[in-house]
Structures are given as structure tokens and as C-alpha cells.
């Protein structure tokens, strides 16, 4: 009877996430970024490249099933190792399917059929032990899988007591002691389990259920023990992976790229879009070359890469998946995207409220905090008109209460209607308040990306964003940690893409508008 499958699970509090960000950023600072990006810088202007530093350029080919399966394994290993490194709360637990799901119904029916057959065979006269022997044999293999390589004494004892040839001979003579075998299995489990499972083992020892129900419980506890063993292995591997994660992830991605040359198509398109946006914003130079013709400027490679990272911050996941080099961080990026949208909406609403009402509510931190908390709770449906109308109504109630408490007149119906209309209007992309907030948020993140020491700039919030300063600093730390690690792992691949996009026709390269743009790639 197979055990339940395990599935990844992670839980983290705000404090844990903050510590993860700090530890991840420290790892990025200590990794081999400088040497990797020296290779990247060389590859900008040189056609020579090594397999380790640049993606393969093989012509399209038909993949065999074995190659597809091997690529899938590489992708799984890459994703798993990345999750272990980036999320210290990552662990496995037995899979619990939704209560009303079809898969759970099918699985439960199959399990019920198995146990019903076992019970029917054991109740026969004489008993039939075929199903029970297969069950004991599977339990034996599970127990042996828990042993360390050097546990020869315990291995020998299990093989002797659960000798399947002997048990089959006893079954042929109707002399199998199933209860005795179950007792030995429970005792052995007690020697192997983690202390947290002692209570479960105690319940098994004291169980008065029939043998079929007892074996059901044995399998349930074995499932928990197997998850414990895997999680213990993860904890032991984490320090090793943290030291070697960059090389390992890069090698795995290169392996995927060797088998599927199209594995960088979305990444190339992402960088190309950032390049085209920058090119359209650059004014052609007034200088002329030797032939007297004006020569257009193009942005520098580090400027393009930084602009591409800003695009990731505002990626629309409903339209397309992220670039391949970001696939292992997709869930984290979506969480950052949602949090940032929430913060921006809160800030936009507060700006509208204070600009509309003015003096009577200025200089009241407690009111500002109450409005901020209330808006954050109500804005769980981001930029939906119905949600914003509800927010407006609650804001008007809170403002009227505050104004009357301080002997100011309540808001007039006309002013309330104006306030509601302005708040609901932030759903429009060309809304000036929304545009202002989004531009300044992007300026903030660009400054972090371009700075060689972004941690010192987290608290330097642009004007107009003071209301969300704490939240923005937390989001900024998370995002910069992901960007730094991503640059460290995939920098050589980005360098090769940029070289092909920017230097194929050898145009003039413009200096980045900020001196820190290039330094950010080599020092972060």
C-alpha cells in the first residue's frame, strides 16, 4: 500500500521573511558575483565564450522523450535547491487533498478497496495472507530506507525478523503471527522516529483495534516519519547548498539549455523589450562620425539590465509567465507584486484624501494611521471600483467622526461625492495621482538596483511616499535580495544576450545616466 505523497510547504511570518531577506542579501554579497560579471563584461564585446558562461547556440532540434524527461528532472532539482536556499521555512509534509476534490475521492476509494480486501482475506477460513505479506514487505523496505549506511546491526535484525521467505513458508502452514509482526514493526518505528512522534508510537502500542486498523495507523505514522526524515535531510543540506548554490543552479540551467535551446526565448524577449524602451527614450546624438552622418546612441548594457529588472517588478502574470531565469522565484515575485500594488493604492488614496480635505486633518498622526490601516484592510480587491467605493464610504465616515470630535463641520455631500469620484478614478491607468505614485515607486527601486550598497538606501523614500515608508522598505529589501541573487546566477547568460542584442551592428553605446548603474552589477 503506497504512502501518501509529500508536497512542499512553507510558512513564514513577517519576522522570518525579514531575516530571510538579510541572510539572502549577505549570501549574495559573499558569492562570486565579481568574477562572474567580469566574464559577463568581457562577453559584451567579444564573440569568444565558454560553455560555462554563455548559453548554447545549437540549431533547433527535435527532442526525444528521454531528453524531455531529463530536462524536467533538471528543472525540478533546480527549483527545489533554489527553494531550500531562499526559504529557510521550506519543508515537506504529507499531502492533504481538498476535502471535496475528485482526486481525494478516488484515492480514498482505492485505499478503502485495498483495506477491505486485506480484511476479507484475513477473515477467510483458513486465512489468506497474500495481501498481508505484500504489506509487511513494503513496510520492511520503508524501515530499511530510514537507516543510515552504517546501521548494519539494525539492518540485519530487520532482515532476520521480517524474512519474507520465512513468512511465506509460515503462511503456507497457517502459522503466521501477524500481531507479533505488527508489534515488532511498532517497536522498530519507536527506535527510529523523531521525538515529536513518540506520542504517535505510544498510541500504536496501546491500540486495541483490529489488525487491519492497526496497519492503517502504522502506515499513517510511517508517512509522518518519512516526511520528518526528508525535512531533516533538507536542514542538513541547506548550509552546503548555500555555499554552492550559484554554481549548482547555473550548471543545472545550462544543462536545461543544452537540451532545449529555446529555454531563453522569454528571457531574450524581456531584455529586448527593456532595450527598445530605453532606445525610444534616448535623443540621438548631435555628434557626427567621419562621414558626416548622425549616429544614434544606445543605452549601456548595465542600464538595460537594470531597466529589465524594473519591468519584472511590474510584470503582468495574467498575460504571460515570467522569463525563464525568474521561474524559480515566480511565487515570491507575485507576492511582491501584490504587496506593492496594495501599498501604492493605499498611498494614492491617502494623497487624494489629504489634498482634498486639507488643513482640518493635517498634523494628526493617529488619524493617518487609522485611515491607512482601514484602507489596507478594505483594499484586498486591488483597484476594483466596488472596493474603492466601499473604501470611500468608510473614509468619509472616519473623517466626519474626526472632524466633529474637533468641532469642525462634517464633510458636505458634494465634497464626499468629489472625494469618492477621485478615489474611484485611480483605477484608470492615466490617473495623475496613480501615475505620480507609480513613477516615484519605480524611481525608488531603480535607485536601489543601481546602488552598490542598496541596504543603506532602503529608508530613503521619495517625496509623496512617506505614508508607506515602512512597507516600501520591506518590499525593497525583498526585491533587491532576489535581484542580486538572480544577477549572480544568471549574469553570464544575460551578458551573452545583451552582447547579441546590442553589439551585432556595433552602434555607439551611451553612458548610463547614473554613474552607479554599471557599478551596481559588479558590486552588488
Q: How does pLDDT run across 54-94, given as a tens digit for each residue?
A: 444 455 556 666 666 777 777 777 777 777 777 777 777 77
For strands 297-298 and 508-509, give the pairing.
parallel
Mean pLDDT to the nearest integer, 369-396: 75
Residue 166's pLDDT is what?
92
Contact 493, 55 (CB under 8 A): yes
Could you report the per-residue pLDDT of 487-511, keeping only the tens digit for each?
Answer: 999 999 999 999 998 876 544 444 3
Cβ density class 78-105: b for 16+ within 10 Å, e for less: bbebbbbbbbbebbbbebebeeeeeeee
Could you report the per-residue pLDDT of 11-32, keeping only the tens digit for each?
Answer: 444 444 444 444 444 444 444 3
pLDDT class of 322 with cuts at 50, 70, 90: very high
Residue 67's pLDDT is what?
65
Contact 353, 371 (CB under 8 A): yes
Average pLDDT over the chain reads 79
Q: Is 67 exposed, middle or buried (0-12, 13-18, 19+ CB in 10 A)?
A: middle
CA distance readout (Å), 471 to 175, 465, 523: 70, 10, 26
Helix (H) or strand (E) holding 297: strand 297-298
303 grid coordinates: 542600464
Q: What is the DSSP string of 343-360?
A: HHHHHHHHHHHHHHH-GG
Could you report the per-residue pLDDT of 90-128, keeping only the tens digit for each?
Answer: 777 777 777 788 888 898 899 899 899 888 988 888 888
pLDDT class of 409 with cuts at 50, 70, 90: confident
User: For the chain, what percent of residues have pLDDT higher than 70?
Assistant: 78
Measured CA to CA, the distance from residue 59 to residue 359 in angstroms comes to: 68
Mean pLDDT to the nearest integer, 30-57: 42
Residue 295's pLDDT is what?
57
Could you report the per-residue pLDDT of 437-455, keeping only the tens digit for each?
Answer: 999 999 999 999 998 888 8
Amino acid at each position: 500500500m503506497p504512502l501518501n505523497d509529500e508536497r512542499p510547504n512553507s510558512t513564514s511570518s513577517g519576522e522570518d521573511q525579514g531575516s530571510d531577506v538579510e541572510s539572502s542579501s549577505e549570501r549574495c554579497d559573499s558569492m562570486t558575483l565579481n568574477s562572474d560579471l567580469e566574464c559577463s563584461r568581457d562577453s559584451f564585446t567579444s564573440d569568444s565564450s565558454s560553455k560555462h558562461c554563455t548559453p548554447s547556440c545549437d540549431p533547433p532540434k527535435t527532442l526525444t522523450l528521454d531528453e524531455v524527461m531529463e530536462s524536467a528532472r533538471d528543472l525540478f532539482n533546480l527549483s527545489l535547491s533554489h527553494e531550500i536556499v531562499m526559504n529557510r521555512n521550506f519543508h515537506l509534509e504529507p499531502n492533504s487533498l481538498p476535502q471535496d476534490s475528485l482526486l481525494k475521492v478516488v484515492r480514498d476509494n482505492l485505499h478503502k478497496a485495498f483495506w477491505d480486501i486485506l480484511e476479507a482475506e484475513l477473515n477467510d477460513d483458513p486465512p489468506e495472507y497474500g495481501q498481508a505479506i505484500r504489506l509487511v514487505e513494503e513496510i520492511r523496505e520503508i524501515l530499511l530506507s530510514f537507516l543510515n549506511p552504517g546501521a548494519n546491526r539494525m539492518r540485519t535484525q530487520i532482515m532476520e525478523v521480517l524474512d519474507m521467505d520465512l513468512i511465506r513458508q509460515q503462511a503456507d502452514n497457517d502459522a503466521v503471527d501477524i500481531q507479533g509482526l505488527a508489534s515488532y514493526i511498532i517497536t522498530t518505528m519507536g527506535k527510529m522516529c523523531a521525538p515529536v512522534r513518540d506520542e504517535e508510537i505510544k498510541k500504536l502500542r496501546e491500540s486495541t483495534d483490529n489488525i487491519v486498523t492497526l496497519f492503517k495507523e502504522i502506515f499513517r505514522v510511517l508517512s509522518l516519519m518519512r516526511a520528518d526524515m526528508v525535512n531533516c535531510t533538507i536542514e542538513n543540506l541547506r548550509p552546503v547548498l548555500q555555499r554552492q548554490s550559484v554554481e549548482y543552479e547555473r550548471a543545472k540551467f545550462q544543462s536545461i539549455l543544452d537540451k532545449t535551446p529555446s529555454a531563453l526565448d522569454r528571457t531574450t524577449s524581456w531584455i529586448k523589450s527593456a532595450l527598445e524602451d530605453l532606445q525610444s527614450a534616448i535623443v540621438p546624438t548631435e555628434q557626427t562620425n567621419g562621414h558626416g552622418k548622425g549616429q544614434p546612441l544606445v543605452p549601456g548594457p548595465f542600464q538595460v539590465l537594470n531597466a529589465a529588472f524594473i519591468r519584472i517588478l511590474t510584470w503582468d502574470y495574467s498575460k504571460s509567465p515570467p522569463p525563464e531565469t525568474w521561474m524559480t522565484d515566480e511565487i515570491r515575485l507575485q507576492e511582491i507584486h501584490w504587496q506593492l500594488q496594495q501599498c501604492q493604492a493605499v498611498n494614492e488614496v491617502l494623497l487624494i484624501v489629504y489634498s482634498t480635505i486639507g488643513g482640518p486633518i493635517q498634523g494628526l498622526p493617529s488619524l493617518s494611521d487609522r485611515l491607512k490601516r482601514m484602507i489596507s484592510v478594505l483594499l484586498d480587491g486591488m483597484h476594483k471600483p466596488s472596493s474603492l467605493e466601499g473604501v470611500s464610504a468608510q473614509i468619509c465616515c472616519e473623517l466626519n467622526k474626526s472632524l466633529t470630535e474637533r468641532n469642525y463641520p462634517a464633510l458636505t455631500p458634494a465634497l464626499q461625492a468629489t472625494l469618492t469620484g477621485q478615489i474611484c478614478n485611480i483605477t484608470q491607468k492615466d490617473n495623475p495621482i496613480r501615475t505620480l505614485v507609480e513613477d516615484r515607486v519605480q524611481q525608488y527601486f531603480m535607485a536601489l538596483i543601481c546602488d552598490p550598497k542598496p541596504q543603506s538606501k532602503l529608508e530613503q523614500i521619495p517625496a509623496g511616499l512617506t505614508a508607506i515608508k515602512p512597507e516600501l522598505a520591506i518590499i525593497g529589501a525583498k526585491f533587491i535580495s532576489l535581484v542580486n541573487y538572480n544577477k549572480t546566477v544568471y549574469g553570464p547568460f544575460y551578458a551573452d544576450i545583451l552582447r547579441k542584442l546590442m553589439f551585432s551592428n556595433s552602434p555607439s553605446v551611451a553612458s548610463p545616466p547614473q554613474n552607479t548603474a554599471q557599478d551596481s552589477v559588479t558590486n552588488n
